[in-house]
Structure 1
Amino acid sequence: MDRVWLLSALLLAVASGAAQRLGIIATDIGVPAVPGGLTGPDNTALPPGCFCIPINQVCPFQTNVRIALRPVAERCPEMKECCRTNGSTQPPITAPLGSCGRQNALRRSNIIHGAALFGELPWMAMVLDRRGRNLVARLGELDFSTPQDSPLYPHRDVLVDNIIVHPQFNPQTLANDVALLHLSVPVNTAAAPNIGTACLPSQGQFFQGLRCVVSGWGGDPTIPGNRFQNTLRVVQVPMVDSFACQQRLGAARLGSNFTLDQTSFVCAGGVEGNDACTGDGGSPLVCQNDSNKSWTVVGLVAWGLGCAQREVPGVYVNVASYANFIRQNVRF
Structure 2
Amino acid sequence: MSAWEVVMGAADLSQPGPEAAVRHIQRLLVHQHYVPATARNDIALLELDQPVECSDYIQLGCVPDASLRVSELKSCYIAGWNFAKGMVLQEAKVQLMDTELCNSSPWYAGSVHADNLCAGYPHGGIDTCQGDSGGPLVCKDNGADYYWLVGMNSWGRGCDRARHPGIYTSTQHFYNWILLQTGLSPAERAGPAPEPVVTSASEQHVKPEEPEEEEEPEEQINLTPQYSQRPEVTSSGTSLPMPFPHQILVQFWNLLQDFLQFMKDKKA
Please give the TM-score of this superposition, normalised by the length of structure 1: 0.51
Contact kept? 1:175, 1:261, Cα under 8 Å:
no
* One of 31, 42, 60 as aligned partner of 1:197: 60
Deviation (angstroms), 1:262: 3.0
Q: Which of 42, 51, 70 lines up with 1:177 in the alignment?
A: 42
Rounded Cα–Cα distance in structure 1 between residues aligned with 2:86 and 2:159: 15
Say whether 1:290 aligns with 2:142. yes
Give the aligned partner of residue 158 of structure 2. 306
**Counterpart residue identity of residue 30, structure 2:** V
Between the aligned partners of 1:314 and 1:263, the Cα distance in structure 2 is 15
Report the counterpart of residue 120 of structure 2 in structure 1.
Answer: 269
Structure 1 match to 2:76: 212
What is the alpha-carbon distance in structure 1 between the residues aligned to residue 169 and residue 131 of structure 2? 16
Gaps of 5+ in 2: 185-268
- CA 1:228 to 1:315, structure 2 compared with 1: closer, same or farther past 3 Å? farther
In terms of fraction of residues, the more helix-rich structure is 2
Q: Secondary structure at the match of 1:159?
A: strand
Percent of aligned pairs with the same amino acid: 27
> Considering only aligned residues, what root-mean-square deviation do their CA atoms show, in Å?
2.1
- Count of paired positions: 182
Q: Which residue of 1 aligns with 2:106?
A: 251
Separation (CA, whole Å) in 2 of partners of 1:305 and 1:261:
12
Amino acid at match of 2:14: S
- Residue 209 of structure 1: CA displacement? 3.6
Which ranges of structure 1 fall in alignment gaps of 5 or more residues?
1-131, 220-226
Q: Distance in 2 between matches of 1:202 and 1:331?
A: 16
Contact 2:103 2:112 in 1 (8 A): no
Q: Retained in 1: the 8 A contact 2:76–2:95?
A: yes
Q: Which residue of 2 aligns with 1:239?
A: 96
What CA distance in whole angstroms lies between the structure 2 residues aligned with 1:325 and 1:204?
16
Q: CA deviation at 1:138?
A: 0.8
Partner residue of 1:327 out of 176, 179, 185? 179
Q: CA deviation at 1:198?
A: 1.8
Q: Distance in 2 between matches of 1:264 and 1:187?
A: 29
Q: 1:162 to 1:203 in 2, by over 3 A?
A: farther
- Cα 1:171–1:282, aligned 2, differ >3 Å: closer, same or farther? same
Distance 1:232 1:331 in 2: 32
Structure showing greater Rg: 2
Task: Give TM-score scaled by structure 2 length.
Answer: 0.63
In 2: Cα distance, 1:162 partner to 1:133 partner: 8
Question: Could you tell me how far apart the structure 1 residues matched to 2:82 and 2:67 are?
Answer: 29
Distance, in Å, in 2 between the alignment partners of 1:217 and 1:134 is 21
Determine if contact 1:218/1:277 at 8 Å carries over to the other structure.
Answer: no
